[in-house]
Amino acid sequence: MPFLEVCLTPELIKLHEVEGKTIVVTDIFRAASSMVAGLATGLSKIKPVSKVSDSEEWHKKGFLRAGERNGVKISGFELGNSPFDFMDARPVTEVVMTTTNGTKAIAVAAAASQVIIGAFLNLETVANYLKENVNRDVLVICAGWKGRFSMEDTLFAGALCQLLGERFNIENDEAYAALALYEKAKDDLYGFLKNAGHAKRLRGLDFEKDIRFCLECNRFDNLTVIDKGFIVNA
């Protein structure tokens, strides 16, 4: 059986092999959730970029600019990093996006054979696709917060480990730890995360609605992937 590993933060990617693997990138609060929700409700493509300045050339081509720094919408951008912004973006369907953590996590996965964007919102779809279609090793990359561990991303990784345990070999201690955390939290994700750092940070910025939405499981059934540098529905 192929192996399933978890990388708890992009800062630790040097400890993992990326090339030749299927990578699942997650940033629950909120980039991955926004990407999945936006593409499920009308967006056609999202261009992830690392720097604010990189967004301008895409904006000139008609893309809406979306992004945040430290949880706050970037000044002058049309959209922030809320899934509700992305679901309300029409009639424009193309977005260029830069965030504190999520787009950077995507960048470190560039050498992979395949990159999938995973969130609780499309958890079952991601798991079913991996079970039925992927025969190579899988690495889950958690975006974290500025290089540090984040509880919500790790819980998603644990949920994926639970769903894939009979199809993949759980390979590393990080994956076992993520699975154990998810087993403890699965009946009340919101309650478990109420004191987590990023949840408190977003709550302080009045994003309570976003927190609850991002923790909904299986709201959408789209498989969101990287294709030629764009995030699209497969």
Tens-binned pLDDT, residue by residue, of the chain (234 aa): 999 999 999 999 999 999 999 999 999 999 999 999 999 999 999 999 999 999 999 999 999 999 999 999 999 999 999 999 999 988 999 999 999 999 999 999 999 999 999 999 999 999 999 999 999 999 999 999 999 999 999 999 999 999 999 999 997 999 999 999 999 999 999 999 999 999 999 999 999 999 999 999 999 999 999 999 999 999
Q: Are 203 and 209 in contact (CB under 8 A)?
A: no
Does the predicted TM-score (pTM) go above 0.75? yes
The per-residue pLDDT for 10 is 97
The per-residue pLDDT for 171 is 79
CA separation, residue 233 to residues 102, 121, 160, 179 (Å): 18, 14, 19, 27
Q: Please name the residue that has the structure tokens 């992305």.
A: 86
Residue-wise pLDDT for 204-218, tens only, equals 999 999 999 999 999
Calculate the dihedral angle through the C-alpha atoms of 130, 11, 207, 194, rounding to the nearest 10 degrees: 80
Pairing state of beta strands 169-170 and 224-227?
A: unpaired
Preceding peptide of 91 cis, ω within 30°: yes
Q: Alpha helix (H) ranges present in 81-167?
A: 83-87, 102-107, 123-133, 151-164
| Amino acid (one-letter) located at 80 | G
Q: Are 157 and 140 in contact (CB under 8 A)?
A: yes
The per-residue pLDDT for 90 is 85
In the chain the domains, ranked by start, together with CATH numbers, are: 3-233 (3.90.1560.10)
